[in-house]
Amino acid sequence: MPPAPADRPTERALLVIDVQNDFCPGGSLAVDRGDEVVAAINTLMPRFPLVVATQDWHPRDHVSFASSHPGHKTLDVVQAGGIPQVLWPDHCVQGTPGAELHARLDASRVGLLLRKGMNRALDSYSAFFENDHTTDTGLQHYLRGLGVRDVVVCGLATDYCVLSSAMDACRLGFRVTLVTDACRGVDFPRGAVAAALRTMEDAGIRMAASPDV
């Protein structure tokens, strides 16, 4: 579904975060039950005039890969350009099957596919800014240009890219809703998902189940 014309304000947008093969069961960085979000998201998309999906799209030597840091292992935390960086298995490498959107996700409804994490030296959890919190992806300007005021967030993973995207949307002045049954988390370190939900609630982000959105 293409975005609404500029002369017809859209007001509401659904932001679908990183529902990619590598984050689903069988992927290199699988989120437990990550594929369960697909059905809920597919029911949500027809309710929105604009759907934006994000896609991690990393070069093969990306800074977030443990393989790029000899002597370190997955889940170590290092400093990368002065920014704390969790090291992950190689994932969502540009052009590979793992980087593709989940096959059951109704991609025909996506009006904008935003690829992030393409700078090998800088990770990008948020749909709005890279992890230096300065480099702008341009999404905020795209949404404002269409008249979007409400951003509804779902996808993977609750405690990383979903959290960062929702919090940035809130800080940028959008009214934000998190669809709780259309998200799954890594939960690293243990308790991170619960902490992420508290952080979002404390920021004024509304929590809702998909039937109530």
Active-site residues: which are they? 18, 116, 161
β-strand pairing of 206-208 with 112-116:
unpaired
Distance CA 152, CA 166 (A): 8
Q: What is the DSSP letter of 54?
A: E
Distance CA 115, CA 55 (A): 5
The answer to whether the Cα torsion of 82, 78, 189, 131 is positive or negative is positive
Distance CA 126, CA 61 (A): 20
The SS3 assignment for 107 reads helix
Q: What is the DSSP letter of 176?
A: E
| Percent of the chain as helix, strand, coil, to the nearest 5 | 30, 25, 45
Q: What is the DSSP letter of 160?
A: I
Q: Which residues contact 55 (CB under 8 A, 6 or more apart)?
A: 18, 20, 92, 99, 101, 113, 114, 115, 116
> Which residue reads 């490498």 in tokens?
93
